[in-house]
Structure 1
Amino acid sequence: MTDLTGKRVLITGGGSGIGREVARAFADQGDAVTITGRGLDALAETDGGRGMTCLAADVTNEDEVAALFATPFDVVIANAGGGPAGGLKSVTLAQWNATLAVNLTGTFLTFREALRAGMAPGGRLIAMASVAGLKGGATIPAYAAAKHGVIGLVRSVALDVAKRGITCNAICPGFVDTPLAQVAVEAVQNRYGLTRAEAEAQLVADNPMKRMIDVSEVAAAALFLASPGASMINGHALSVTGGEI
């Protein structure tokens, strides 16, 4: 890949948060972007008239993921994810299985089908992992376990595809300012009787910069990993955490 502009880009979980910002960043630089998610209304909102292709798909469904790759993509970003908060004792088996399914199995299926479709040399596979995949988290055991698995998958795939000139990397953000983050802020407020400012300070306490990460900063990392300048970065877990890791 000598020039990213005009390439075909697929982003899963493109209906909100990080996925939405990443999709818009690629579209705004002239790429042909396809976004997937479970709700077409949310995907249309992400598009906002930019001309993206919006496809409803569940990344845990093997057939639905395979159907996304009728033709190959140049850049594939496995972004769909999530998971419940709570200590290990409170996690149900159903929550555990669902968290691993969307974060880890979803990334596996997305990357597998991207390669089966015939990704060309210079292609980019990018997984949206998390700082939790680098250090864990007492109140997010299922999510942290899944993201550790994503990083292990990325490092393994990177070794496999390197000989074809394809790279596979992970982005590991800390606490990002998204609507989901605001839900977490409100939960901390209500639980401990804090002001919004105090709750936000508690949530970003591990970040040396003492602020939430802006979604544009995560999108910038994705644009970089998909660029020609990142052609020798492979199997890397890129920390976007303000120095937390």
Structure 2
Amino acid sequence: MKSGSNDVITKSVSLQQSGSLQPKLEVRNLSKTFHSNGINRQTHKPQKQILALDNITFDIYPREFVCIVGASGCGKSTLLNIIAGLLPPSTGKVSLDGTELLGPSADRGMVFQNYTLFPWLTVADNIGFGLKLKKISPTQRKQIIGYYLEIIGLTQFANAYPKQLSGGMKQRVAIARALANEPEILLLDEPFGALDAQTKEQMQEFLLDLWNKTHTTILMITHDVEEAIFLAQRICVMSAHPGRLKETIEIDLPARRDLEIKLTRKFIEQKRLLLQALR
């Protein structure tokens, strides 16, 4: 990490506490109800309604790294899909930089758990796919692609195809592709869930370093308690059936972290607090 990252993060947190920093993302009174396919023949209305999310409200500030954790079925992915514009809310709203979000847009980058690279495109072409759609000039596109290839450490794989990459490398490319479009916020849906334990920890270190270098605001959902504590500045804890925001936990760890921090007493204390909140 860069030596000045502690100062940046400390300043950001103090501005939040003083109320002088405006939220990057605002989620207000968000609820989502799903309807079953069955229809009541008498009323001609859906037979059953399932309340997946109930009155979710929270803010994310510029340059923050926030994780959402909760048990399977608590609505984490549904919430992220609404923020991404892939699902409409039933009630409430989501705003980015003060503007209500009404659908998908390049201002939000999305990375899923499953590898979503185009298999017929090279690594470089995958990273530059969105730039080409935006009609960025070939010269500028090459510069941006080169920058992200270097930042994810895959310059030598620029002309490789996804089938030639490991799982961790594929996710690096997916993250680079999302960041190349310069989104206002990066949304991550359990991006390391399919990786083995060793690769997963390597990717956690990679993502934390990338966040420090790019200063991108990140919202990530995960079911991995240690992953959330290692990466996040704040953790939003959700309860299930329906999904509600139960508690928000500030992570009291140094901004500069490596994997050894997971063995410290402070980290274990934070893990205990988070596990208690999840019960």
Q: TM-score range by the shorter chain?
A: 0.3 to 0.5
Larger radius of gyration: 2
Q: TM-score, normalization: structure 2?
A: 0.31
Instruction: Specify which structure has the higher proportion of helix.
Output: 1
Q: With a CA cutoff of 8 Å and minimum separation of 6, indicate the structure with the bigger relative contact order.
A: 2
